């Protein structure tokens, strides 16, 4: 399993797909220095004027947040880090990561809708747990259009299995983004 520095993986998928768990485990692996950028944190930085990112009126805000996250990821990668960008990054946001000065990969973790909802309900806390919103976000990843080859089925895998699947995916180079 190799997660070498000076590159980025955008680890995406619906809420409950295992993104954050896999990203945290990858970032903690030995080897090259690693950074875990949790995109939810970038939305939380907005203190006045925040719009829930799943609402249609959040489009401009969301483009800004993705551009900022991509720029931060690029700077870390240029500094020698392997960067895991963890978030609900649909194909409509990929362009923010496609033209960077470092290699970037786009991996969309997939589980069943039922598994995603169950995971969100079980984790509790202040994280998203509304089954209706989770189901709507899950549906947005059902067809990735030209990015469908970037989907990685991880349903039923434990966290270590998901990390192994991501490593295999990255090593295949099939998930690498091409400059626009």
pLDDT, position 1: 42
In angstroms, the CA 148 to CA 152 distance is 9
Q: Tens of pLDDT along 47-89?
A: 999 998 888 999 999 999 999 999 999 999 999 999 999 999 9
Give me the percent of the chain exceeding a pLDDT of 90: 75
pTM higher than 0.85, yes or no?
yes
User: Reading across the β-sheet that carries 151-153, which strands appear in turn?
Assistant: 34-38, 82-86, 7-13, 104-110, 151-153
The answer to whether residues 3 and 26 touch, using CB atoms and an 8 Å cutoff, is yes
CATH class of 7-172: alpha beta
Candidates 101, 107, 98; CA nearest to 79 is 101
Instruction: Please write the tens of the pLDDT for every residue from 16-47.
Output: 899 999 999 999 999 999 999 999 999 999 99
Domain locations along the chain = 7-172
Does residue 179 have a pLDDT over 70?
A: no
pLDDT class of 2 with cuts at 50, 70, 90: confident
pLDDT 10s digits, 87-120: 999 999 999 999 899 999 999 999 999 988 888 8
- Number of Cβ atoms within 10 Å of the Cβ of 43: 18
């Amino acid at each position: 399993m190799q997660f070498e520095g000076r590159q980025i993986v955008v680890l995406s998928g619906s809420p409950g797909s295992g993104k954050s768990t896999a990203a945290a485990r990858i970032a903690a692996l030995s080897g090259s220095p690693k950074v875990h950028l949790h995109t939810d944190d970038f939305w939380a930085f907005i203190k006045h004027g925040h719009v829930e990112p799943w609402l249609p009126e959040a489009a401009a805000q969301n483009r800004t947040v993705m551009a900022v996250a991509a720029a931060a990821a690029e700077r870390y990668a240029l500094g020698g880090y392997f960067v895991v960008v963890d978030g609900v990054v649909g194909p409509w946001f990929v362009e923010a990561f496609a033209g960077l000065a470092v290699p970037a990969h786009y991996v969309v973790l997939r589980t069943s809708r039922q598994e995603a909802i169950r995971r969100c309900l079980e984790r509790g806390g202040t994280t998203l747990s509304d089954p209706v919103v989770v189901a709507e976000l899950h549906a947005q990843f059902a067809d990735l259009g030209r990015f469908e080859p970037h989907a990685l089925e991880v349903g039923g895998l434990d966290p270590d299995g998901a990390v192994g699947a991501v490593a295999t995916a990255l090593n295949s180079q099939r998930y690498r983004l091409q400059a626009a």
